[in-house]
């Protein structure tokens, strides 16, 4: 099961892989969106990029994952942005004891894998809105809070993987001939538009500034809107 965020615009209709993942990819949408359907969940969360808004969306994402009923062994898999664990201060309600805890967390912007078995164990601190209060207790963003629950509270461990990629790294350094081996890719966005993966093809940077269309055609060259080109020619050498 994959969960994907959308924002104020109906991006799901533009997702190149949306039709290939029917029934598998719920899209969490913000309250300003009106579209309804089996793929769409209105989060009622703010669209801003604040700690509270991010944790609100992660809380809904967690609940929807649990509702899916899919079962796996305990897994927390992703890529840290730091080369060391972070340290958080736990605040007990009512001004009680303050303690510190160290843990690893997987960068949310790169995506991460969380098995349902482990997610169920997280439920006292994550389900039905309790994720928000847990995040407030340590005053951390959403991805850090997941790491806090998994490692700091449950004693499980993050499995580090270099196959997840976020906008926080230099994506141009990713060898083009390894793109098909990666789990996730990203792009820099308006603040760093040149931070994109190096993949060639029939789309210019102006036509495909994120390189997502080009990556899609590398994966699915028979898509009707992909330029007619050999798959081997799509990767820059």
Residues that are catalytic = 143
- Geometric angle at alpha carbon 121, from 116 and 127, rounded to 5°: 85
Which residue, 143, 111, 151, 145, is CA-closest to 130? 145
Residue 31 CA, chain-centre distance (Å), reads 20
Both tokens assigned to 235: 């990767």
Q: Alpha-carbon distance 79 to 233, whole Å?
A: 30
Strands (E) located in 35-178: 40-42, 76-78, 86-91, 98-103, 113-114, 159-160
| Integer angstrom CA distances of residue 131 from 55, 197, 235 | 7, 34, 41
Both tokens assigned to 229: 């080109």
| Contact indicator for 129, 58 with CB cutoff of 8 Å | no
Q: Quick one: CA dihedral 22, 177, 199, 210, positive or negative?
A: positive
| Contact indicator for 166, 82 with CB cutoff of 8 Å | no
For the chain, how long is the longest CA-to-CA vector? 65
């Amino acid at each position: 099961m994959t969960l994907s965020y959308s924002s104020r615009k109906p991006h799901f209709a533009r997702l190149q892989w949306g039709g290939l993942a029917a029934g598998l990819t719920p899209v969490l949408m913000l309250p300003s969106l009106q579209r309804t359907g089996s793929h769409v969940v209105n989060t009622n969360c703010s669209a801003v990029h604040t700690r509270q808004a991010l944790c609100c969306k992660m809380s809904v994402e967690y609940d929807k994952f649990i509702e899916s009923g899919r079962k796996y062994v305990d897994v927390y898999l992703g890529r840290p942005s730091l080369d060391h664990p972070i340290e958080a201060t736990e605040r007990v309600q009512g001004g009680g004891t303050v303690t510190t805890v160290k843990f690893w967390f997987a960068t949310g912007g790169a995506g991460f894998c969380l098995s349902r078995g482990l997610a169920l164990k997280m439920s006292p601190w994550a389900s039905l809105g309790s994720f928000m209060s847990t995040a407030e207790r340590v005053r951390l963003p959403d991805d850090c809070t997941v790491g806090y629950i998994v490692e700091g509270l449950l004693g499980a461990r993050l499995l580090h993987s270099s196959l997840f990629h976020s906008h926080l790294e230099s994506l141009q350094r990713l060898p083009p001939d390894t793109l098909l081996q990666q789990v996730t890719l990203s792009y820099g966005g308006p603040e760093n538009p040149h931070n994109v993966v190096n993949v060639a093809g029939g789309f210019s940077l102006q036509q495909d500034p994120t390189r997502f269309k080009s990556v899609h055609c590398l994966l699915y060259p028979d898509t009707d809107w992909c330029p007619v080109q050999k798959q081997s020619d799509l990767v820059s050498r």
